[in-house]
Structure 1
């Protein structure tokens, strides 16, 4: 059986992959994540996941199945990024206040021996409730979502910000669509319950 390599430095993706109880290593390929002019969010997420898998392949010396994922958050087709600061997180949540936000989470599995790929794309649509400035401040202070696209952690206190979250895979919003990943791993011969 080939080894699994998670092509991401994200602790959130690593925590999700640990749920499958399969051994894996982790590396963080460096790629340019700049969108091309007019590139739709879903296409960007798909392209970036493939680019991460290809970059990780060049860093991997033994036969492996590379697991790469990328997520693009968009508010009315405007890309939302990881805020990095409390001020930017506050501004981003204010912009999303009462709005629908779309999250496109792409997955690319790559067999380094054969070059065979498995790809999938999850679309999650979330609607933030109407939030007061005090609620936004309390949330940011409590959860510090500065390294999360959209400025929230749905797996934590961030769930309290929403009226609804619609997805075919609840783990996709956290950053790694495990339902699609399990399907892909089965196609590569991994035994999962």
Structure 2
């Protein structure tokens, strides 16, 4: 739990994720927080658009944890990649990851990073959730199979949508990244999140003043 903020918020803050990268990103804000891994079915619903999948799962992750912990601020996030309108999820293994990268090489892929901040202090579930989707446009380099195989064996990004971790060696297989929220591709859009936290009464710079 981070303890370096000069004026920590009195409300409990929980990151609903087991991702070390999301934890590292949230730590940048200097707020004390806990992490709890959500336990939900992440299977897309039939006919559901990729954006809708990401938004639903971010909300369900936050809601599931909020139901367990009571009055707290819970952060849920989910990411889905899309190419030609088709959803590209987590590959799970080397063969599937290679197929994804072969499909995406030389192409531009849209990554939907959905974010939900659930305020467990609110009794009304409709008012408790702030939800937003942040889009990132990623163009992949046109690399041959030998390079893609070598990358996958080094990085092993089999739990990552689109098989490319930009926070690691995956940056070398990307040609460009375009987004209004630069940390969204890593999995937690901090510009959107800080806005949501402010809306929930969290302050960041008012040393000596209590958060509301």
TM-score bracket, normalised by the shorter chain, equals over 0.9
179, 184, 189: which one pairs with 1:177?
A: 189
2:209 aligned partner = none
Aligned residue-pair number: 192
| Larger deviation, residues 144-153 vs 33-42 | 33-42
SS at match of 2:109: strand
67, 70, 76: which one pairs with 1:68?
A: 76
Work out the CA distance in 1 between the residues paired with 2:37 and 2:45: 22
- Is the CA contact (8 Å cut-off) linking 2:59 and 2:129 kept in structure 1? no
50, 56, 61: which one pairs with 1:47?
A: 56
TM-score (norm 2): 0.86
Larger radius of gyration: 2
2:46 aligned partner = 37
2:24 aligned partner = 15
Q: Which runs of 4+ in 1 moved over 2 A?
A: none
1:152 aligned partner = 164
Aligned-residue CA RMSD (Å): 1.4
134, 142, 156: which one pairs with 1:130?
A: 142
TM-score (norm 1): 0.94
1:88 partnered with 2:96: yes
Query: How far 1:100 sits from its partner (Å)?
Result: 1.3
Query: How far 1:162 sits from its partner (Å)?
Result: 1.6
- Is the CA contact (8 Å cut-off) linking 2:54 and 2:79 kept in structure 1? yes
Query: How far 1:159 sits from its partner (Å)?
Result: 1.2
Q: Which runs of 5+ in 1 are unaligned?
A: none
